[in-house]
Chains A and B, each alone.
Chain A
Amino acid sequence: GAVVSQHPSWVICKSGTSVKIECRSLDFQATTMFWYRQFPKQSLMLMATSNEGSKATYEQGVEKDKFLINHASLTLSTLTVTSAHPEDSSFYICSAGLSDTQYFGPGTRLTVL
């Protein structure tokens, strides 16, 4: 149990385009999901908390208009990177909480050319 999936696992896009990443809890419902970003050889940094049915809460320094989060159901949260630029290239990982523990998705490798 407690499986979290992400799609796509990797994506390459041109500068200026938008990319959507999906995070799904496969065998449980998650009222809260989290989005993290990890640059090469660095730690995971919390970007935002995604709340089902309400607006996401963004960490300081994360642009909410650039990183759009939608949590329309108890099993799906999406992160859209709008007008992506090369500096947005990173490993994006979501997690979902269940019974006081967080379970991570496999991550999405975004490369912006």
Chain B
Amino acid sequence: GENVEQHPSTLSVQEGDSAVIKCTYSDSASNYFPWYKQELGKRPQLIIDIRSNVGEKKDQRIAVTLNKTAKHFSLHITETQPEDSAVYFCAASMEGGADGLTFGKGTHLIIQP
């Protein structure tokens, strides 16, 4: 089955700086890669996703890049703000909403004021 590795496990950045979280996946059949933000005790919230026919996608301060050849994808957050502090999970699946997601272990992002 699919295996998703996520790094780093903890990331501390100064407010206003950029944060980058990286994930690799093992199954070349995966073609859907979402990123979720989860605050303590809350549900995961989809912040951005990318499909295999696209190499990069951006939504305001958040961007995701995908390298299918290398089987890795990354989340980029620019101009970080205190409210960006949370745990971020990458995930992979073969059919988006019709397939169960395999999650990475998560990155605890800490924005230092």
Chain A residues near B (Cβ < 8 Å): 32, 34, 42-46, 49, 59-60, 91, 93, 95, 97-107, 109
Contacts and interface: CB of A to CB of B under 8 A. Distances in A.
A91 B100 CA distance: 17
Given A43-B106, A102-B34, A97 B43 contact: no
7 contacts: A42-B105, A43-B105, A46-B102, A93-B43, A101-B49, A102-B34, A104-B36
Contact of B44 (A46, A97, A104): A104
A93 B100 contact: no
B89 A43 contact: yes
B89 A49 contact: no
A106 B42 CA distance: 6
Nearest to B90: A43
A45 B43 contact: no
B43 A107 contact: yes
A43 B96 CA distance: 19
A34 B89 contact: no
Interface of B: 1, 32, 34, 36, 41-46, 49, 89, 95-98, 100-106
Contact of B46 (A34, A101, A105): A101
A97 B32 CA distance: 13
A44 B103 contact: yes
Contacts of A60: 1
Nearest to A9: B41
A45 B96 contact: no
A42 B100 CA distance: 18
A105 B105 CA distance: 20
Contacts of A95: 101
B97 A46 contact: no
Contacts of B46: 101-103
Nearest to B46: A101
